[in-house]
A and B are shown apart, each in its own frame.
Chain A
Amino acid sequence: MKENEKPEKGNQIIEEAAQAEYKYGFVTDIETEVIPKGLDEDVVRRISALKGEPEWLLEFRLKAYRHWLTLKQPTWGHVHVPEIDYQDISYYAAPRKKKDGEKKEIDPELKKTFDKLGIPLEEQLRLSGMAVDAVMDSVSVKTTYRERLAELGVIFCSMSEAVKDYPDLVRKYLGKVVPYTDNFYAALNSAVFSDGSFVYIPKGVRCPMELSTYFRINAAQTGQFERTLIVADDDAYVSYLEGCTAPMRDENQLHAAIVEIIVEDRAEVKYSTVQNWYPGDKDGKGGIYNLVTKRGLCRGDHSKLSWTQVETGSAITWKYPSCVLKGDYSTGEFYSVALTNNWQEADTGTKMIHLGKHSTSTIVSKGISAGHSQNSYRGMVKIAPKATGCRNFTQCDSLLLSDTSGAHTFPVIEVGNDTSVVEHEATTSKINEDQIFYCNQRGIPTEDAVGLIVNGYAKEVMAKLPMEFAVEAQKLLSVSLEGSVG
């Protein structure tokens, strides 16, 4: 090979690598109970009945459904969500339970699936520091370590179980941070949500292990609408992780989740996400539409909520994990790495709503765009007139790995008083060929060099992830970003 062919060679390696297979694209062959496609009040009633819900929850669902009918799919995001035919989706799919045998026994096929995903459901195999709620399609399959956590008063179970076992707690908090009127997808979720996780940390308890929910879509032509509710009472602490994958399919599948978090006086919640839904193939066919509403209310004084997200999957991502900082001296944080490749589109960011005096917020957003993807940061920092002495620091960086990808930022800043300080820093850069050559000269091939440089770029955010997740997330970044440089 001649010297003058070198630049092409670099691109070629990267293009080959870009076609690397999605590791979690398999389908589990398991009997699934699916209710027929379509959505009307009867379907809402049927979901509620299947789950044996109390009347008040059915009412909540029906109100949400009726409200949803009055709404239109939003179009303001810098993403191209097609007109979704909501009658062409099944709203409930559950791995069928075996009638025989012990009740608590998990179906071996399900166990195998989660083993394959690296999420063993036997407690003795789990890393001792983490409890898992495993959700497949519409239902929670298994929650580990429930008993051990219960000794401390920590409730960690599926949403369906919480409705049965702790109806008062659920009723007190459900829909209080994200009301069903919030937006189109929140209304839809509130009408048809199937399962999800419920966490309650009582006063003064530091949860001794990481809590984690693993979401898996398996069934075809279904949507996943889970709902997570986390409550940290006074002086409580919990670190919560969320992971997600789905099979490779040519069709697009809808995932419209809600996460609500309530943080009371001096309590702290860390919420980390590694989102790796199937992103579609290299031509943009298939993939998950990840349209999610996540919001936390720092209700107590000196309360703290920290969102960390590593977003590498989904054909379309539309999510803004936000903090409503109601308590005085409360703290909100948002650390995000969003990587888009091929034809992926991401519109993600946060809202920091300062209502409490001396509340502070930090936003660090790192966008990485490769291939033909579009990557947008959308953020709002709002400081209410009465919220004096507030601070916000926002850093918003974009790294472009190709000439055909796009990076966009849509920041909104509203400051209602003159004792608050808001800082906003933004940079856009292209991956630097000198950096790659420097690595090459030290013996590091281009593909590894790109992984190294991008992980370095994202380090500030990666460092916020719990240890066990951080290593996985680093690998994920390198693999997902086997995208074009040039």
Chain B
Amino acid sequence: MLIIKDLQASIEDKQILKGVNLTVKPGEVHAIMGPNGSGKSTLSAVLTGNPAYTVTGGSVEFYGKDLLALSPEDRAHEGLFLSFQYPVEIPGVSMVNFMRTAMNEKRKYFGQEPLSAADFLKIMREKRSIVQLDNKLASRAVNEGFSGGEKKRNEIFQMAMLEPRLSILDETDSGLDIDALRIVASGVNTLKSKDNATIVITHYQRLLDYIKPDFVHVLYKGRIVMSAGPELALELEEKGYDWIKEQVDAQQ
């Protein structure tokens, strides 16, 4: 579904991604790990079309379409979802209003009629339970006054509502206690199917105990320098990144 070829990107003239290659197929879970500043969050921002970043080379194909040619909202409609590392607060805009606008925009994109209020609320009720969000939380303003754990659960709730084909979880585990981590991970696992895929960006093995990856990639200095099965994550947990850094730096 996703083919990234030699992707290069910069922010404020600083080159961050220096040629990323990655292919993701339906049903797969990919973990992207790597030391701080290696470009993990940049990759998710560039894929979703954050205007702060500039693509300087390479290509991304998403279900046969040139992803980089699409606006951020069209990428979302096509089924790309980002669970933000730092979800923003939008004061005064209720989750109900926000989600209904988002879902109806998607329906409009596919030429469908907007959802009725009753249908929408029914879906919302169903999906809320996946991440154990209570009714009050959903009627609050988007992320306003949410705790760190609530914000991340709210991200997964939105993912459940929008039913993306490819989800990118950007450091979804950061700032979560063990209970919240379990809820979030079980939400992600519930939503997993043979037709959708997940990219998990994380520092730690911890999250991968709950969300089992099929592939683990190490991103370092703007390139994927190592790819292997889930055992790589365990090895990294034990040995850290230094040995990989040394290898890569020696090659250069």
Contact = CB atoms under 8 A, between A and B. Distances in A.
Given A2-B55, A3-B49, A437-B50, A444 B91 contact: no
A2 B87 CA distance: 26
A441 B48 contact: yes
Nearest to B60: A3
B69 interface: yes
A444 B105 contact: yes
A7 B51 contact: yes
A444 B102 CA distance: 6
Interface in B20-76: 46, 48-56, 68-69, 71-73, 75-76
A442 B51 contact: no
Nearest to B106: A443
Contacts of B71: 6, 9, 440, 445
B88 A460 contact: no
Nearest to B49: A6
B217 interface: no
A457 interface: yes
A434 interface: yes
A442 B98 CA distance: 9
What class of interface size applies to chain B in its complex with A?
35 or more
B101 interface: yes
Nearest to B76: A443
A459 to B, nearest CB: 4
A443 B73 contact: yes
A430 to B, nearest CB: 14
Contact of A458 (B49, B52, B90, B92): B92
Contacts of A4: 54-56
B88 A438 contact: yes
A53 B97 CA distance: 53
A453 B48 CA distance: 21
B91 A456 contact: yes
Contacts of A458: 92
A441 B93 contact: no
Nearest to B105: A443
B69 to A, nearest CB: 6
Interface in A12-65: none
Contacts of A442: 76, 98-99, 102, 158, 162
A434 B89 CA distance: 9
Nearest to B68: A3
B46 A445 contact: no
A438 B87 contact: yes
B51 A444 contact: no
A448 to B, nearest CB: 7
B82 interface: yes
Contacts of A452: 90, 93, 97-98, 101
Nearest to B97: A452
Contacts of A1: 69
B4 interface: no
Nearest to B74: A443
Contact of B141 (A434, A438, A448, A456): A456
A221 interface: no
B84 interface: yes
Interface string A310-323: 00000000000000
B234 to A, nearest CB: 32
Which of A6, A433, A458 has the most chain B CB within a 10 Å cutoff?
A: A6
Given A3-B46, A433-B52, A448-B101, A443 B91 contact: no
B124 interface: no
B165 interface: no
Interface string A412-446: 00000000000000000000111101111111110
Contacts of B51: 6-7, 10, 433, 437
A453 B55 contact: no
B53 to A, nearest CB: 7
B77 interface: yes
Which of B75, B82, B93, B162 has the most chain A CB within a 10 Å cutoff?
A: B93
Contacts of A228: none
Contacts of B99: 442
Contacts of A435: 88, 90
B9 interface: yes
A404 interface: no
Interface of B: 9, 46, 48-56, 68-69, 71-73, 75-77, 81-82, 84, 87-88, 90-93, 97-99, 101-103, 105-106, 109, 141, 158, 162
7 tightest Cβ-Cβ pairs between the two chains A and B: A456-B92, A3-B55, A459-B92, A456-B93, A440-B72, A6-B51, A443-B76
Given A437-B52, A442-B99, 7 more contacts: A6-B49, A438-B90, A440-B76, A441-B73, A442-B158, A443-B73, A443-B106
21 contacts: A3-B49, A434-B88, A435-B90, A438-B87, A439-B90, A440-B49, A441-B49, A441-B81, A441-B82, A442-B98, A442-B99, A443-B105, A443-B106, A444-B73, A445-B73, A448-B101, A452-B93, A452-B101, A453-B90, A456-B90, A459-B91
